[in-house]
Amino acid sequence: MADSIRLEKIALQLGTKRFSFDIAMTDGAITAVTGPSGSGKSTLLNLITGFEIPESGRILIAGEDVTHAHPSKRPISLVFQDNNLFAHLDLVTNIGLGVDPSLKLSREDRVRISQSLERVGLAGFETRKPGTLSGGERQRAAFARVLVRKRPVLLMDEPFAALDPELRSSMASLLLDLHRETGNTVVIVSHDRAEVQKLADVVVAVDDGTIVNSAANTAIPYAR
Amino acid sequence: MLLTAAERRRGISGGVLSLVAIALFVGIAVSALLLWDAPETQGQLFTAYTGRILQFTLWQAVLSTLFSVCLALPVALSLARRPHFIGRIWIVRLMALPMGLPVLIGALGLIGIWGRQGAVNSFLSTLGLEQPISIYGLTGILLAHVFFNLPLAARLFLVALERQPAEYWLLSTSLGMKPLSIFRFIEGPALIRVVPGIAGLIFMLCATSFTLVLILGGGPAATTLEVAIYQSLRFDFDPPRAIGLAVLQIAVTGLILAALAFLPAPDGTHVTAGRATRRFDGRTWGARLWDGSTILAATLFLILPLASIFLAGIKADLWRLASSPAFLNAAYTSLSIALLSGLLAVSVALAIIHARIAIRDLRHPGIPARGLAAMLGATSSLVLLVPPVVIGTGLFLLLRPFGDVSRFAPALVAAINMLMALPFVMRVLEPAIEDHRRQTARLAASLGVTGFSRLRRIDLPFLIGPILTALSFAMALSLGDLGAVALFGSSELTTLPWLVYSRLSSYRTNDADGLALLLGMICLALTILGSLSRRKGYDG
């Protein structure tokens, strides 16, 4: 398979910490990034999104050099652990901002937003504010935004860490379904061994600012 | 039930004692006003004169609030968008300075920059402008109110913006939101929530402003209620008019306070200038230029008057001033009054806080107990409802028959300063004590550490920091205050601000500038001492 994301000889210093990454991530696969806290998982993600700019090296997404591209110019959707939705805006607005950042929405756009909500199991939640939703429902809404954005790459930083174990498993299933439907490339930072086993095609281990291991997920899956 | 019965009894009786003392002090002053037996009082409550003054009081407060808030908004937005602006932390600290600066000194600095001989007018006249900007009258009052309140508003707005989750800024960047969208969907909603509370606070401060209006106002065209009360007593000796104005003043502050109760209180507790918020917007040259010039303009507006105080001050013969008997006497008087009022304020605050804790500790606090707790809370901010000049007027009228008022004056000024400091002292001490109790009360109760041993080993080591902070703030407030002393000041009672003011009134500006610098340095030293002990207290 082709590479979707390539980090070529990336070097970066943040404070006293040095980071160096060199890795290729397969197109259409789910890559899980694991490692102890402070090891550089989030920095790796920030480099791909463009929140950090490397001192040397190149970053390519779908063959295009994006090393110095602004985050909004990269073909990426993001899901964080928390605060994925603006708390004072209803779900249509929150998801609509993913379609058009100045919220100029056509009739078709609105239909698509409703369909995406329906797809993640939040049919009829258009005018609800994030504060009235549970933690799981909020993450579902974030997924709905990923759906309408139709970007080939999805980056997630511990998206289910704030949820309880049962919910985590069902959210992982939803993610897997959406991934199969869209065929997007997913990079997910996770601490949860079971989650990694269930989701990942490739597991990348990060430690002390660099990648120490990258291998196909060959372990016997728990519930794949 | 974490307190022993004796502790509860002591706590509640201490609170009741403070409550009665404050209620008597303020109550006697207010009833002296209301019961003043002058037949013409009735007709004096609402005259064309008082109506005009009321109108001006409210009008200047509305304009001051409007300018302060509207000008603070872009400053806060620019500061929030530039977390790595050169010297940003010092600019944010600079914005805290006007709050701690004696108002009188700020006014002198403003005159130094915006006055007839000031930097701005000299500059304008070289440009060929005929009419200089007048620092006196409405313009001057507005300028001074903006000088003191713009930084307050900007800091509170900045807190509101910095409190937005870090993900919002990342998300907006990743979604490609333009500055207008970011303002519409993130910054605007965050700010609009805090505007009413901040505007209300500033309106209250401007409607009850005394010193600035006294110095920059003047003339019947630019006088607020507080200053008019003072002038009625001090210059015209027209008690009925003073009473009418004082009643009007209480009604106005009462109405504003009632309205404020419905607004969310501005919360400035998380001023974290050092926190690394990451912003990826505003990278264009236009945005950089706008933010840079906004921040620069605000900084200059704040720093120039302060620099002018310093420069004008050192031009005076500081050593001669500092060693002159007039300064030494005034400094002695001021420090004695400040120490007395500071100690009183801390003691009363401690009594009120402990009484409230004791009431909360009751298993079934009845309606009287809960009422007492509420009244204790209200008492600590009674001075907001009944401003110092009003209390002073009442006491002035009450004590005049008993001889020279200036005999009682030091004690009265100290007591009024104590009341003025009480809300601030409570705000420092109450959270500190609550925190401390949450951490230690159960352990101390289970070990049976009570009474003096508990005070010495558990409470004092922790609370000495916050207590010193509160004491130094209260003392700085009293040292810089001109409001309470204005009614009673005389050759027998001269505080430092009164000395500065009388030098200013007799056009000895050079001396006034030098004395103002000395006073400012004393207050600054106290405030710095206070912040140092605060830091120590939280570490320990």
- Per-residue pLDDT reduced to its tens digit, B431-458: 888 888 888 888 877 787 777 777 777 7
For the stretch B68-95, pLDDT in tens is 999 999 999 999 999 888 998 899 888 8
Check residue A113 and give its pLDDT.
95
> Which chain A residues touch B165 with a CB distance below 8 Å?
82-83
Distance of CA B424 to the CA centre of its chain: 8
Whether chain B has a CB inside 8 Å of the CB on A222: the answer is: no
Beta strands in A136-184 (DSSP E): 153-157
Q: With an 8 Å Cβ cutoff, are A51 and B170 in contact?
A: yes
Taking CA B45 as the corner, what is the angle to CA B40 and CA B50, rounded to the nearest 5 degrees?
120
Give the chain A residue nearest B186 (alpha carbons). Answer: A86
Cβ B185–A97 below 8 Å, yes or no? yes
Q: What is the DSSP string of B487-523?
A: HH-SSSS--HHHHHHHHHHTT-HHHHHHHHHHHHHHH
Residues 6+ apart with CB under 8 A from A27: A1, A2, A3, A4, A62, A185
Q: Name the residue among A77, A78, A101 with its Cβ closest to that of B178.
A: A101
Residue B202 pLDDT greater than 60, yes or no: yes
Cα of B103 to nearest chain A Cα, Å: 39
CB contact residues (below 8 A), chain A span 27-56, against chain B: 49, 51
Does B284 contact A at CB distance below 8 Å? no
Sheet holding A3-14, edge to edge: A64-65, A56-61, A3-14, A17-26, A210-216, A202-207, A30-34, A185-189, A153-157, A76-79
Backbone angles phi, psi at B333, to 5 degrees: -60, -50
Residue A219: pLDDT band by 50, 70, 90 thresholds? low
Whose CA is closest to B347, among B2, B60, B17?
B17
Residue contact B173–A51, C-beta within 8 A: yes
**Are A159 and A150 within 8 A, CB to CB?**
no
B280 interface with A at CB cutoff 8 Å = yes
**Which of A73, A82, A86 is nearest residue B185 as measured by Cβ atoms?**
A86
What pLDDT digit, counting tens, does each position of B400-427 carry?
887 777 778 888 999 999 999 998 899 8
Among A174, A143, A141, A169, smallest CA distance to A156 is for A143
Give burial (CB, 10 Å; 0-12/13-18/19+) of B159.
buried
Is B170 in Cβ contact with A101 (below 8 Å)?
no
pLDDT in tens, B44-69: 567 788 888 999 999 999 999 999 99
Kindly state the helix (H) or strand (E) to which residue B395 belongs, with its residue range.
helix B388-399
Using a CB-CB cut-off of 8 Å, the residues of chain B touching A100 are none
DSSP 8-class letter at B222:
G
Q: How far off is chain B from A89, nearest CA to CA, in Å?
A: 8
CB contact under 8 A, B176 and A72: yes
pLDDT value of position B64: 96
Q: Report yes or no: B168 at the A interface, CB cutoff 8 Å.
A: yes
Inter-chain touch B168–A86, beta carbons under 8 Å: yes
Closest C-alpha among B528, B132, B86, B100 to residue B299: B86
Residues A203, A29: Cα–Cα separation, whole Å = 11
CA distance B471 to B468: 5
Q: Is the pLDDT of residue A224 over 60?
A: no
pLDDT at B343: 95
Q: Residue B356 is inside which H or E element, if any? A: helix B325-361
Task: State whether A97 and B177 contact (CB < 8 Å).
Answer: yes
Pairwise CB contact (< 8 Å): B189 & A51:
no
The rounded distance, in Å, linking the Cα atoms of B206 and B195 is 16
Instruction: Quote the pLDDT of residue B135.
Output: 84
Question: Considering only CB atoms, which chain A residues are within 8 Å of B280?
Answer: 51, 70-71
Q: Which residue of B has its CA nearest to A89?
A: B185
Please provide the size of chain B in residues. Answer: 540
**Between B7 and B415, residue with greater pLDDT:** B415
- The yes-or-no verdict on residue A136 having pLDDT over 70 is yes
Confidence check: pLDDT of B281 > 90: no
pLDDT band of B41, cuts 50, 70, 90: low
List the single residue in B185, B278, B283 with the smallest CB-CB distance to A89: B185
Question: Which chain A residues are closer than 8 Å to B283 by Cβ?
Answer: 70
* Confidence grade of residue B538 (pLDDT, cut at 50, 70, 90): very low
Question: Hey, where are the domains in chain B?
Answer: 1-37+316-540
**pLDDT band of B169, cuts 50, 70, 90:** very high
Q: Which of chain B's residues have a Cβ under 8 Å away from the Cβ of A157?
A: none
pLDDT digits over B284-307, tens only? Answer: 899 999 999 999 999 999 999 999
Model confidence at B267, pLDDT cuts 50, 70, 90, reads low
B460-480: average pLDDT? 88
Shortest Cα distance, chain A CAs vs residue B185, angstroms = 8
Distance between CA A121 and CA A167 in Å, rounded? 14
Fold of A1-75+154-224: Rossmann fold (3.40.50)
- Is pLDDT above 70 for B133? yes
Q: How far is Cα B19 from Cα B375, in angstroms, rounded to an integer?
A: 8
| Correct CATH for B1-37+316-540 of 2.40.50.140, 3.40.228.10, 3.40.50.300, 1.10.3720.10 | 1.10.3720.10
CA A220 → CA A196, A198, A224, B397, distances in Å?
12, 10, 9, 92
Residue A83: strand, helix, or coil: coil
Residues 174-203 of B with CB under 8 A from A: 174-178, 180-181, 185-186, 189
Which among B167, B170, B181 has the least Cβ separation from residue A101?
Answer: B181
pLDDT of B271 > 50? The answer is: no
- pLDDT for res B535: 53
- The confidence score (pLDDT) of residue B382 equals 83
What's the rounded mean pLDDT across residues B336-346? 94
**Who among A71, A82, A103 is closest to B174 (CB)?**
A71
Mean pLDDT of B325-348: 93
Q: Collect all residues of chain A within an 8 Å Cβ-Cβ radius of residue B284.
A: none
Phi-psi map region of A27: left, alpha, beta (phi>0 left; psi -120 to 50 alpha): beta
State the pLDDT at residue B274: 44
The two structure tokens encoding residue A130: 């994030």
Mean pLDDT of chain B: 85
Residue B174 distance to chain A (closest CA, Å): 4
- Which amino acid is it at A117? L
CA B188 to chain A, closest CA, distance in angstroms equals 11
Residue A222 C-alpha, separation from nearest chain B C-alpha, in angstroms: 32
Distance (Å, rounded) from C-alpha B174 to C-alpha A119? 23
Q: CA-CA distance, B213 to B64, in Å (whole number)? A: 12
Interface touch A80/B170, C-beta < 8 Å: yes
Say yes or no for a CB contact (<8 Å) between B180 and A102.
Answer: yes
Compare all CA atoms of chain A with the CA of B180 and give the residue at the minimum distance.
A102
pLDDT average, residue stretch B268-292: 75
Per-residue pLDDT at B121:
82
Q: Mapping DSSP to helix (H, G, I), strand (E, B) and coil, where does residue B137 land?
A: coil
pLDDT of residue A137: 93
Share of chain B above pLDDT 70, in %: 94
pLDDT of A111 strictly over 90 = yes
Largest CA distance in chain A: 51
Q: How far is A211 from chain B, CA to nearest CA, in Å?
A: 25
Q: How far is B187 from chain A (nearest CA, A)?
A: 11
The nearest CA of chain B is from the CA of A86 a distance in Å of 7
Q: Do A80 and B180 touch (CB under 8 A)?
A: no
Closest CA–CA distance from residue B253 to any residue of chain A (Å): 34
Answer whether B173 sits within 8 Å of A70, measured CB to CB.
Answer: yes
What is the pLDDT averaged over residues A71-90? 90
pLDDT of residue B540: 31
- The better pLDDT of the pair A195, B116 is held by A195
pLDDT of residue B454: 76
The residues, any chain, with a CB within 8 Å of residue B458's CB and separated by 6 or more, are B440, B444, B449
- Answer whether B181 sits within 8 Å of A97, measured CB to CB: yes
**Planar angle of CA B353, B356, B360, nearest 5 degrees:** 140
The beta-carbon neighbor of A76 closest among B166, B174, B283 is B174
pLDDT at A2: 67
Work out how many CB contacts closer than 8 A connect A with B. 62
The more confidently predicted of residues B462 and B329 is B329
